[in-house]
Amino acid sequence: MSSMTISRTGRFNVLLAMQMARVRTSWRPYLIVSSAMPLGIAVLMRAIMEPSQVREFGTQIVAGSAVLAIAMTAIVMLAQRVASLKESGAIDLYSTLPVSRAAVIASVLISFAIFALPGTVIVLTLGAALFDLSLGALWAAIPVWVLGSFALAGLGVAIGFGARDEQLAGMYSNLAMMAVLFLGILPAETLPGWLEPLKVILPSTYAVDALKPGLEGDLGGSQMGKLLILAAFGALSFWAVRGPLWPRSE
């Protein structure tokens, strides 16, 4: 049993090393994009808001912008990479190797997700200063980053496999990211009623809700329920990757 575990771990490490080698020379653009865009949205919103709106909506905007950094890697970058692997035939090659489908996707996801953590922390830190909020959300940054990345990965993989090519995957994933953005930064009471079901089924909703108490100075355990929901979404994502989402052999 131990030798089998070591063997599986070793194979996954090889997969991860392959993906990390691919982004080794291009990590700077990934890091800048995953940090600058979410922070820029928070800065823009702060600049156009009245003081009363800052007090009322600041928590939602900062939490939503932080989760956007996660969504950019777990949805957009992952979808484009999966589409590229499918288009190039690499997915067929992986299917012939003694590696699991979940391990292949996890290695790709992790290679991108590491760029989301700095963005999440930067947005929470500077966003808290911009909107005069607590830094208490920083303790939840890592669990939200880990669980949120895996929870949103299912959407990225579905787009990557479903799109005809990498360019279309980029278009579809950016549309999905916009949904995450607007449903993340807009308070629930300002949304039309017909959008409520979509908000409920998006994992990003629970990632935002897990960060909000800390920004309000609540360091209690009120976030645990949201983190558990994210974990459930993550488990569902990887069940789907191992089965329904994976392309069927011709």
pLDDT of residue 173: 92
- Please identify every stretch of the chain with a pLDDT value under 70, giving residue numbers as ranges: 1-6, 220-222, 248-250
Q: Is 2 exposed, middle or buried (0-12, 13-18, 19+ CB in 10 A)?
A: exposed
| pLDDT value for 1 | 41
pLDDT score recorded for residue 177? 87
Enumerate residues 6+ apart whose C-beta is below 8 A from 163.
Answer: 79, 83, 169, 172
Residue 2, both tokens? 């131990």
CB of 152 within 8 A of CB of 32?
no
Segment holding 185, helix H or strand E: helix 166-185
Residue among 241, 224, 58 nearest 147 (CA): 224
* Single-letter residue type at 5: T
* Amino acid at residue number 134: S
Tokens 């994502």, residue? 237
- Residue whose token pair is 């449903």: 183
> For 20-40, what is each residue's pLDDT tens digit?
887 777 777 777 878 888 889
pLDDT at 220: 66
Report how far residue 46's alpha carbon sits from residue 206's, in angstroms, rounded to the nearest whole number: 23
- For 199, left (φ over 0), alpha (ψ -120 to 50), or beta? alpha
